[in-house]
Structure 1
Amino acid sequence: MTTTTPLPLTTTFSPPEACMTDTWFIEYVSGINYYTEIITGTNTSWWLSLGPTKTSTCFPSGYQTNTDFYYSPGVCPSGYWIAQETVLTTGTETETRGTCCPNNYQAQTETNLAWYTHNACTSYNPTSTQVWKFTKAGTTSSTTRADGINAPGISIRWKEGEVVPQTSTFASSTSIATAPTATEDPTPPESNGGLSTGAKIGIGVGVAVGGIVIIALLAFFCLYRRKNKSSELSGSENPRSEMRPVVELSDNYRPAELQASFARPVEMDGHGQQSDLYTRGLQQRWELDTGPGKF
Structure 2
Amino acid sequence: MEPPYPPLTTTFTPPPGCFGTFPSWAIHGTVHWFLQAETWNATTCFPTSFQFNPTATVTYSPGICPSGWTSACNSLKTFIGSIETIHTCCPSGLGCFPKDPDHRWESNFPCASPLYNIDRSAWSIPATASVASSQYNYAIQIMSQNSPSPGLSNTPTRTSVSAGTSSGSVLPSIVIPYPPRPGLAPGAKAAIAVGTILGVIFLAVIVYMAWRLGRQRRGTPVVSQPEAMQQPVQAYWGNSEGLRGQPFNTGNLNANQNPAMELGVEEPRK
Rg: which structure is higher?
A: 1
When the two structures are superposed, what TM-score results if normalisation uses the length of structure 1? 0.39
When the two structures are superposed, what TM-score results if normalisation uses the length of structure 2? 0.43
Higher strand share: 1
